[in-house]
Structure 1
Amino acid sequence: MKLVAATKVRRAQEAVVNGRPFSETLVEVLYNINEQLQTEEIDVPLTKVRPMKKVALVVCTGDRGLCGGFNNNIIKKAEERIAELKDLGLDYTIISVGKKGNSYFLRRPYIPVDRFLEGGSLPNAKETQAIADDAFSLFISEEVDKVELLYTKFVSLVKSEPMIHTLLPLSPRNNSNHRFLVISILEQKC
């Protein structure tokens, strides 16, 4: 069993390393598009910065347990962010992605959840489109003024860090964060 587990870990790490050139190129293309939109006089609703009244938190957890603090750390980070938003007097809503997060928020009806989404270990295009559509529609309809993504960044086999990144509005000053965010998410899914 140890041999099988070691082989799976090696294959997963190889997939991450082999996928990096693709993800870096994709991020570079997205970065350049966003930069071009910022420099031209085009009215793009995704770049419109509004006074913050309500924030949508997209909380990404796993579907299974027995993975150390993977799910607990991201849920704890979400709770911390919720407390920060309350202290600032801002309203919030949650888009929960993953079975562990869904079950956590279902047990806490006082936390407003816009949508519960579940998917397999590797989300397909349809599942990721549902997440993007929900976040996009909340932002464009001005129900929320900011969309933040909470996810777990892979550091090593024994360590991962919960991260928060702003997805919307897109900003030219924060593009380096978007670059590392997309690379991290693509590496996680490989």
Structure 2
Amino acid sequence: MATLRDVKRKIDAVKKTSQITKAMNMVAAAKLRVAQQNMEKFLPYADKFREVIGRLVAGAEQDGSFELMTPREEVKKIELVLLSADRGLCGSFNNNLLVTGERFMKAKQAEGLEVAVTAAGRKASGYYRVRRYPVREALTGLLNKPNYDDAFNLGRNLVNRFVEGESDEVYLVYSHFISVVKQAPTVIKLLPISPGVDEQAEGTSVDYIYEPSHQELLTDLLPNFVYNQLLSSFYETTVSEHAARMAAMDNATNNCKDLVRSLTLTYNKARQAAITTELMDIVGGAEALR
């Protein structure tokens, strides 16, 4: 049985851990608010950009001249971009993304396709390198402060590899932010681009006049569509990471409180037993002296 000193030491250690997890919860909550504000500022622009691309695609001649939109006749090589956090202590956040990515990879490999990985995040990079998957790029710091430059650099490399035939399709695994308590690992196709057309917008009476032509605009804007998709996923995954970490630290703090209560009860019982033993020894000694 643990001594009183051992139990007391455990209680002090758990209380210190509780202080740390509570502080991390508060930091994650503050970062979550900032990240969520940035995401909410960007998403309307991304939605409008997607709508404009959809209108341009609807009005352009589909003659196969847009390489970024043209599916390959035979798909052999897949590139998977997987976003993850650089740090842990965020519950099952990273594991859910990694499991989703691996399931997707195995499904494609079962179809006889060659799959290469771009690991965006220290957790993803370590995960795939340990398992000896072919990693084309290993990036870190993308979720610390999402910005267009990082999205542009990654997107440009993906577009170049697609155009040069190193990959026939490019997919992205990221965390779709639903709410503070719910985030969903999601797989989307980045290349070839399939922006779709908003049927409601297409049916409206507004007829935009584009200058220069649809073809010229699409040639310039299609790569930017990829960059915007990436930046949007950066924002959502960042918000999801902070939300997951906030929840994980809150759970850890509550668990520490429960453990302190349990250890305190154990301490009190042990102390009571020690006092009882001492009293019995005193009474026994007094009886022996009579």
Is TM > 0.5 for Structure 1 vs Structure 2? yes
Distance 1:104 1:57 in 2: 14
1:77-96 Cα offsets, whole Å, 9 max, x none, are 11101110121111111111
Aligned to 2:79: 56
**Structure 1: where are the runs of 5+ without partners?**
none
Aligned to 1:117: 139
Specify the SS of the correspondent of 1:126.
Answer: helix
Q: What is the Cα deviation at residue 64 of structure 1?
A: 1.4
Distance 1:23 1:186 in 2: 12
Distance 1:23 1:127 in 2: 16
- Aligned amino acid, residue 89 of structure 2: L
Task: Check conservation: 1:47, 1:169, Cα contact below 8 A.
Answer: yes
Task: Check conservation: 1:77, 1:162, Cα contact below 8 A.
Answer: yes
Q: What is the Cα deviation at residue 131 of structure 1?
A: 1.2
Q: How does 1:1-190 map to 2 (within 5 A)?
A: 1=23, 6-37=29-60, 39-41=61-63, 43-50=65-72, 51-109=74-132, 111-120=133-142, 121-171=144-194, 174=196, 182=229, 185=233, 187-188=235-236
Distance 2:43 2:64 in 1: 32
- Aligned amino acid, residue 168 of structure 1: L
Q: From the superposition, tell whether residues 128 and 3 of structure 1 become closer, same or farther in structure 2 (CA, over 3 Å).
A: closer
Larger Rg: 2
Task: Check conservation: 2:85, 2:123, Cα contact below 8 A.
Answer: yes
Q: What is the Cα deviation at residue 41 of structure 1?
A: 3.4
Distance 1:126 1:11 in 2: 19
TM-score by length of 1: 0.81
Task: Check conservation: 1:96, 1:113, Cα contact below 8 A.
Answer: yes
Percentage of identical aligned residues: 30
- Aligned amino acid, residue 118 of structure 1: T
Work out the number of aligned pairs and report it: 185
Q: From the superposition, tell whether residues 62 and 140 of structure 1 become closer, same or farther in structure 2 (CA, over 3 Å).
A: same
Specify the SS of the correspondent of 2:167.
Answer: coil
1:29-50 Cα offsets, whole Å, 9 max, x none, are 233334444x343611112211
RMSD over equivalenced CA pairs, Å: 2.9
Aligned to 2:276: none
- Residue range with higher mean Cα deviation, 41-50 or 120-129: 120-129
Task: Check conservation: 1:94, 1:112, Cα contact below 8 A.
Answer: yes
Specify the SS of the correspondent of 1:152.
Answer: strand
User: Whose strand fraction is larger, Structure 1's or Structure 2's?
Assistant: 1
Specify the SS of the correspondent of 1:114.
Answer: strand
Distance 2:58 2:234 in 1: 21
Q: From the superposition, tell whether residues 116 and 14 of structure 1 become closer, same or farther in structure 2 (CA, over 3 Å).
A: closer
**Structure 2: where are the runs of 5+ without partners?**
1-22, 199-224, 240-290
- Aligned amino acid, residue 160 of structure 1: Q
